[in-house]
Amino acid sequence: MTAVGAPTGISQGSRTRGGVGESTLRPDGVLKVTGAFAYASDMWHEDMLWGQILRSTVAHAEIVSVDTSEALATPGVYAVMTYDDLPTGVRHYGLEIRDTPVLAHGKVRHHGEPVAIVAADHPETARRAAARITVEYRELPLVTDEASATAPGAVLVHEHRTDHHAAHVPHPNIVHRQPIVRGDADAAAGRADVIVTGDYSFGMQDQAFLGPESGLAVPGEDGGVDLYIATQWLHSDLRQIAPVLGLPEDRVRMTLSGVGGAFGGREDLSMQIHACLLALRTGKPVKMVYNRFESFFGHVHRHPARLHYEHGATRDGRLTHVRCRIVLDGGAYASASPAVVGNAASLSVGPYVCDDVDIEALALYSNNPPCGAMRGFGAVQACFAYEAQMDKVARELGLDPVEFRRINAMEQGTLMPTGQSVDSPAPVAELLRRIKAMPMPPERQWESSEGADVRQLPGGLSNTTHGEGVVRGVGYAVGIKNVGFSEGFDDYSTARVRLEAAGGRPVVTVHTAMAEVGQGGVTVHAQIARTELGVTQVTIEPADTRVGSAGSTSASRQTYVTGGAVKHACEQVRERVLDIGRRRFGSHHPAWAGAGLLLEGGKVVTDGGEVLADLVDVLEDEVIEVEREWRHRPTEPFDPRTGQGNGHVQYSFAAHRAVVEVDTELGLVKVVELACAQDVGKALNPLSVIGQIQGGTVQGLGIALMEEVVVDPVTAEVKNPSFTDYLLPTILDTPALPVDVLELADDHAPYGLRGVGEAPTLSSTLAVLAAVRDATGLALDRTPVRPEHLTGTA
């Protein structure tokens, strides 16, 4: 890892072991790699029942009748519930728009929509009983794309739409629309020496987390319920669940259970309400665990997209204008589609300077599977198109593609298409320089004195080639991703920090509602507490709703926002400690009255290193506890007509170089190396930062070459809901992943840090595709690229 830049302002106690800037190990790491970690699906309760969902077998239909009599008559069944059995009052939920029924009412809008739920004393009994529910459907015409969604007389997916976005869109089957207009694209086009257009198609991707949806609901003696759940956002779940149950929020108590990955797929509710309803109906604990088939239907996916782009440039390589239209398919329910549209639109030009833009992004309602948050959140789809365009324009001008990007690279002070100034380091040109300067992997690595090592070849252990027809390609890409919630959202987090003396030692306890989904927040929060309070022993309490909201573990925001809240609470604790010390020892040492006192190594010291007192002696029997909210600087909504506004709080940048080898006869691709250069502001835990970058990189490889939820264009049914047919990169597909990390501090952020986890997924995808284009000479305007696209048999 290479670090560049000025010191990033670690505040107090930076020499305490295990603090900010050190590669500390995860407290849950050994448990996870040895299989001893307790995930949500491992939970157990005496006398618990098992819940099961009956899902629709068609994508759009009127529900004529539902007969539950046979299910209710099944021995071991305790309850069967349909929409008519729900508590009176609120029966819909949603992240931004409350448009999703808890159970289907009147009609179903997508394949796999929940229709009924069952509780039984054994999971197989629950499944058999659900299969005995008879549902009669009368199928309705389907909305599957923009043409069928917006044609005259089109069927409405939501026939009674009244949400607050309706006034901003031209048709009820459009969830949200965001134009961005800046400068004069028409006039700028007249100054262009070359104009290049392209049409691109981006496939639907699944988050494919390894731990399927699961939870345990336990009815309480007070008529409430305790829910132990794998989620990304406890308080958002609570806000949606409590009204449906007809309970005040303080009687729905939520605790985070072990989460086996998320990537956006756990931002929306899955079985939370269903498990609680069954627990309250039966008076018994109810556990629900999806199998892999159900998981493909039980959470949102990444929006598939169609994108049309036009770029103009002068002969010397300067962009004149960008026009684009991005159409995202949001599926049957809104989920996070409005925010995804905002991201796709505002980031649609990429990390480049362009004063004249005409942009439109929108999301459709359709009868396809619901889509919402996934790593990259609209920026991935846009990056796929704008980076392909940058290669096309460079080729048209006869310029090196990296040099063309560097000519147009934004920097600190550049205005985004939204008119917002990028007011922190934007080292786009430097990232490109670094990634191009990295050593190339050796040619023909599969060759050895003993013959070809097929593991290094396209097709791998399938032994399809020994190097005949294998061509190498190299591709580059760079991307821009926002950090944190945007467009005026009140993005804050809460932390409770307690400092006390126990067993003759100072100890710190940190309590937040942050969902640990693998990103390493449990490590970072302890590092921050050690740095700010100078105490080595830090305990992280389980996340639950007994403390204020931490927001979602998404948008690369948790280290920034919840880390900021922990830092802020620790600073308040530190000041209280020093106030106590001044009252107790002030008369004995003049330094107590001055500024610059630190907590370090369990002691109070001056900034010159002189020890004034042991921290335990200062505390005596006192317990100092502080709970504080912390907010980053405010953002504002984009203007609904022009898209202008300071909509984002921070930007992150990553660049990739991909080296691939392609069997041009069979259409097989081997990614040899995916090198990354990324600015992280400040690496709070360098080991974790590298892991996040490498993980996002491989996820981008999956989008490029393998991963797609295939939806039948005629029936809107999901055709591959299993890991047998939905392909994922394995260790044998994972290339060398060298990483070059820059640390250029953002002065607006805690410690100067910058969100890390999403940006690598943008540029890795496009670097791989650029390399495959370089090897084959093909346009490759869709993702994922399949063998038939490379052999001309598609």
What does the angle CA 622 – CA 628 – CA 634 come to, to the nearest 5 degrees? 160
- Classify burial at 765, counting beta carbons within 10 Å of its beta carbon; exposed 0-12, middle 13-18, buried 19 or more: buried
Cis-peptide, bond into residue 87, ω within 30° of zero: no
Domain 41-140+212-259+266-298: top CATH class: alpha beta
175 token code pair: 């969830």
Query: Which regions of 68-193 does DSSP assign to beta strands (E)?
Result: 77-81, 92-93, 100-101, 107-108, 114-120, 134-139, 174-182
Locus of tokens 């709080």 = 649
* pLDDT of residue 164 exceeding 80: no
What is the C-alpha separation between 610 and 618, in angstroms, rounded?
16
Q: What is the average per-residue pLDDT within 183-202?
A: 98
Helix (H, G, I), strand (E, B) or coil at 252: strand
Q: What are the structural domain ranges in the chain?
A: 9-37+492-631, 41-140+212-259+266-298, 146-206+302-372, 413-483+643-791
Provide, rounded to the nearest whole percent, the portion of the chain with pLDDT above 90. Answer: 90
Q: 240 CB contacts (<8 Å, ≥6 apart)?
A: 93, 94, 95, 98, 269, 273
* pLDDT of residue 7 exceeding 50: no
Given pLDDT bands bounded at 50, 70 and 90, which one contains residue 463? confident
Interstrand relation of 668-679 and 650-663 (parallel, antiparallel or unpaired): antiparallel
* pLDDT, tens digit (0-9, with 9 covering 90-100), for 338-381: 999 999 999 999 999 999 999 999 999 999 999 999 999 999 99
Given pLDDT bands bounded at 50, 70 and 90, which one contains residue 607? confident
What is the C-alpha separation between 278 and 281, in angstroms, rounded?
5
What is the C-alpha separation between 461 and 790, in angstroms, rounded?
20
Interstrand relation of 286-289 and 470-483 (parallel, antiparallel or unpaired): unpaired
* Average pLDDT score over the chain: 94
- Residue 416 φ/ψ, nearest 5 degrees: -70, 165
Cis-peptide, bond into residue 784, ω within 30° of zero: yes
Given pLDDT bands bounded at 50, 70 and 90, which one contains residue 163? low
C-beta of residue 49 within 8 angstroms of C-beta of residue 287: yes
| pLDDT recorded at residue 608 | 85
Q: What is the average per-residue pLDDT within 465-485?
A: 95
Amino acid type, 488: G
Name the more confident of 4 and 29: 29
| pLDDT recorded at residue 593 | 81
Helices (H) and strands (E) counted in the chain, each on its own, are 18, 29
| pLDDT recorded at residue 50 | 98
* pLDDT of residue 785 exceeding 60: yes
CB hemisphere CA count around 540 (13 angstroms): 23
| pLDDT recorded at residue 167 | 64
- Classify burial at 2, counting beta carbons within 10 Å of its beta carbon; exposed 0-12, middle 13-18, buried 19 or more: exposed
Domain 146-206+302-372 part of CATH 3.30.365.10: yes
Given pLDDT bands bounded at 50, 70 and 90, which one contains residue 461? confident
* pLDDT, tens digit (0-9, with 9 covering 90-100), for 279-309: 999 999 999 999 999 999 999 999 999 999 9
What is the C-alpha separation between 454 and 463, in angstroms, rounded?
6
Q: What is the average per-residue pLDDT within 675-704?
A: 97
Given pLDDT bands bounded at 50, 70 and 90, which one contains residue 3? very low
pTM for this one? 0.95
What is the number of other CB atoms lying within 10 angstroms of the CB of residue 602? 18
| pLDDT recorded at residue 591 | 85
CATH architecture assignment, domain 413-483+643-791: 2-Layer Sandwich (3.30)
Domain pair 41-140+212-259+266-298 / 146-206+302-372, same fold: no
What is the C-alpha separation between 362 and 345, in angstroms, rounded?
8
Amino acid type, 744: L
| pLDDT recorded at residue 84 | 96
What is the C-alpha separation between 232 and 562, in angstroms, rounded?
13
DSSP assignment of 638-654 equals PPTTT--S---SEEEEE
What is the C-alpha separation between 239 and 660, in angstroms, rounded?
47
| pLDDT recorded at residue 5 | 34
Local structure of residue 205 (DSSP, 8 states): B
Q: What is the average per-residue pLDDT within 22-30?
A: 93
- Residue 346 φ/ψ, nearest 5 degrees: -70, -20
* pLDDT of residue 15 exceeding 80: no
* pLDDT, tens digit (0-9, with 9 covering 90-100), for 70-117: 999 999 999 999 999 999 999 999 999 999 999 999 999 999 999 999
* pLDDT, tens digit (0-9, with 9 covering 90-100), for 515-571: 999 999 999 999 999 999 999 999 999 999 999 999 999 999 999 999 999 999 999
* CATH code given to domain 9-37+492-631: 3.30.365.10
Q: What is the average per-residue pLDDT within 412-425?
A: 98
Q: What is the average per-residue pLDDT within 462-474?
A: 90
Query: Which regions of 183-318 does DSSP assign to beta strands (E)?
Result: 194-202, 214-219, 225-229, 252-256, 286-289, 305-313
What does the angle CA 539 – CA 540 – CA 543 come to, to the nearest 5 degrees? 155
Q: What is the average per-residue pLDDT within 613-635?
A: 95
Given pLDDT bands bounded at 50, 70 and 90, which one contains residue 588? confident
Locus of tokens 């539950």 = 68
What is the number of other CB atoms lying within 10 angstroms of the CB of residue 644? 17
* pLDDT of residue 14 exceeding 90: no
